[in-house]
A and B are shown apart, each in its own frame.
Chain A
């Protein structure tokens, strides 16, 4: 059973507001990821982290930023939300299981963001 949580599940907010999407996992995983899922379903990696104080940008350019101060927490922030940020944001985590193994990514339930 995966233990990865995202809050809020739904958020409707006006243009220009600063928002933070929360993601927490209780599995002690060292790797965490943020994906953006467009209304047409396609998922794109926007940020990832392989450990505390390590963050990298993903394949899809995003105006959001992330931080990884604690292993279990990987928040995503938008300084000034715009309608183009309207999307679903999925957080995931995984753990390295040793040479020859491939860690499975566990996904949170997602945050559906609407910017008016």
Chain B
């Protein structure tokens, strides 16, 4: 079984400032890692994912994340946020073994509030 911890439940940030959202996971097997964004009254949209290869993953809307296996982390960053980045952000993992299917385990979410 896997578990995901998002260390910050809420992150206020000023427009054009950088932001980092922290995500740590625990698993006894290899995992795939995902970041999703949820805008108000909408479903989840995939920002980026790590499956294998380069540990620095670039996603949509200028976001990127770095997989750190030794620290079991997958922190999300953006160098300069916009008002439109105000949303909930979810980190998720899935068991990388093919037989495990594609079930996701989510973290508790981080609410980003971008202030002008």
Contacts and interface: CB of A to CB of B under 8 A. Distances in A.
Contacts of A102: 32, 49, 51, 94, 96, 102
Nearest to B98: A99
A66 interface: no
Interface string A15-32: 000000000000000010
29 contacts: A31-B101, A31-B102, A35-B106, A40-B108, A41-B90, A41-B108, A41-B109, A42-B107, A42-B108, A43-B90, A43-B109, A44-B106, A45-B103, A48-B101, A58-B103, A59-B103, A59-B105, A90-B44, A99-B98, A101-B51, A102-B32, A104-B46, A105-B46, A107-B43, A107-B44, A108-B43, A109-B43, A110-B41, A110-B42
Nearest to B90: A43
Contacts of B49: 102, 104
Interface size class of B (residues with CB under 8 A): 20 to 34
Interface string A59-103: 100000000000000000000000000000010101000010111
Q: Most chain-A CB neighbours within 10 Å: which of B44, B105, B107, B111?
A: B44
Interface residues of A, number: 28
B45 interface: yes
A50 B111 contact: no
Q: Most chain-B CB neighbours within 10 Å: which of A6, A90, A101, A102?
A: A102
